[in-house]
């Protein structure tokens, strides 16, 4: 683990511009295909918390939330592979959900954390569920930010779903080869992030995400460095029974902070099936908060009181 001093394009301030009183350090973890980047907040001697963003986002998505948590925590926010400053998985292969789970285990091993608390948004929450089910000793508490699922694949749809995913990978590879990577002005890039997104985010949040999502070209334009294969989606191809085994395997205390607006994926039946499994657990708490899928970025003050109480205590006052 080391500071990312070697990046030519990487701004590595010791303090964030918008939050000057909170110290941050850029980190880099070695992995077989390159490195995983991250940002650490707080005292390394504090209680460890791993923070994992949603698909097509990056570690910057926690910039508003972390400073509002109690100072007793040491938070490491990672860029998942293919996001932010992290290396992409090897080209020519479809992305695999379990490779992302294993990437997080590699990070925890290099941090030498025996166990930690975990905060995950959307995809990051899905990965956290699998992590605490497969490596229960590594996760003490799990916070899910607008995360339900990931949704299972019905047996009758398995072949067609696989075919669709593979075809999407081939289409994306052809469209986004290195020679043909589209370039944008900063304003155009900002518009793409704010307008083309499922869930509305503020311009301030969009600018934070762009800091770790853009590479500047020699001509002054910008290109996105996010792995375009992610646009085909990322989910484990499990049936309902297998999904239930994963959810049942999560033994640690879980806090689910859900937005008031509809879920991004899945049907209401899928969501209720997952809630039935969760609600049967004595260690599960659910909080509904007004806002959209990205409410923790737009309005972090709405969720941090619950998260802080939950991480410090076994249960938070709802």
Q: What is the DSSP-derived secondary structure letter of residue 14?
A: S
Give the span between the Cα atoms of 60 and 79, in whole angstroms: 8
Bridging pattern class, strands 2-3 and 24-31? antiparallel
Give the span between the Cα atoms of 226 and 212, in whole angstroms: 9
Give the span between the Cα atoms of 228 and 181, in whole angstroms: 10
Do residues 74 and 39 touch, judged by C-beta distance below 8 A? no
Please pick, among 61, 122, 133, 259, the residue that the annotation labels catalytic. Answer: 122
Q: Which residues contact 129 (CB under 8 A, 6 or more apart)?
A: 142, 144, 147, 246, 247, 250
Do residues 45 and 99 touch, judged by C-beta distance below 8 A? no
122 a catalytic residue: yes
Which of 152-189 are b and which e, b meaning 16 or more Cβ less than 10 Å from the residue's Cβ?
Answer: bbeeeeeeeeeeebeeebeebeeebeeeeeeebeeeeb
Do residues 75 and 96 touch, judged by C-beta distance below 8 A? no
List residues bridging with 286 in a β-sheet: 256
Do residues 7 and 39 touch, judged by C-beta distance below 8 A? no
Q: How many CB atoms lie within 10 A of CB 133?
A: 19
- Cβ-defined contacts of 220-226 (< 8 Å, 24+): 221/183, 221/184, 221/185, 222/183, 222/184, 222/185, 222/186, 222/189, 223/181, 223/182, 223/183, 223/184, 224/181, 224/189, 225/84, 225/85, 226/56, 226/58, 226/82, 226/83, 226/84
Supply the residues annotated as catalytic: 122
């Amino acid at each position: 683990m080391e500071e990312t001093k070697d990046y030519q394009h990487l701004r590595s301030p010791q303090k964030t511009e918008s939050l000057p009183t909170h110290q941050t350090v850029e980190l880099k973890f070695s992995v077989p295909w390159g490195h995983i980047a991250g940002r650490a907040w707080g005292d390394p001697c504090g209680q460890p918390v791993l923070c994992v963003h949603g698909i097509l986002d990056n570690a910057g998505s926690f910039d508003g939330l972390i400073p509002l948590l109690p100072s007793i925590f040491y938070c490491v926010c990672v860029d998942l592979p293919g996001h932010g400053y992290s290396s992409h998985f090897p080209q020519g292969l479809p992305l695999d959900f379990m490779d992302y789970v294993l990437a997080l285990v590699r990070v925890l091993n290099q941090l030498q954390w025996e166990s930690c608390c975990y905060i995950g948004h959307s995809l990051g929450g899905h990965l956290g569920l699998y992590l605490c089910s497969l490596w229960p000793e590594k996760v003490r508490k799990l916070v899910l930010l607008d995360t339900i699922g990931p949704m299972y694949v019905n047996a009758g749809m398995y072949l067609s779903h696989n075919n669709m995913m593979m075809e999407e990978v081939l289409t994306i590879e052809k469209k986004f080869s290195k020679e043909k990577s589209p370039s944008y002005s900063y304003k155009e890039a900002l518009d793409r992030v704010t307008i083309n997104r499922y869930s509305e985010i503020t311009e301030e949040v969009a600018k934070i995400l762009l800091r770790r999502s853009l590479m500047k070209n020699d001509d002054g334009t910008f290109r996105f460095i996010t792995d375009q294969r992610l646009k085909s989606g990322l989910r484990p191809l499990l049936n309902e029974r297998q999904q239930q085994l994963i959810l049942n395997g999560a033994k640690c205390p879980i806090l689910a902070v859900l937005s008031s607006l509809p879920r991004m994926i899945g049907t209401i039946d899928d969501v209720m099936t997952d809630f039935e499994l969760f609600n049967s657990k004595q260690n599960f708490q659910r909080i509904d908060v007004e806002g959209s899928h990205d409410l923790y970025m737009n309005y972090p003050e709405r969720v941090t009181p619950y998260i802080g109480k939950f991480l410090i205590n076994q249960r938070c006052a709802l």
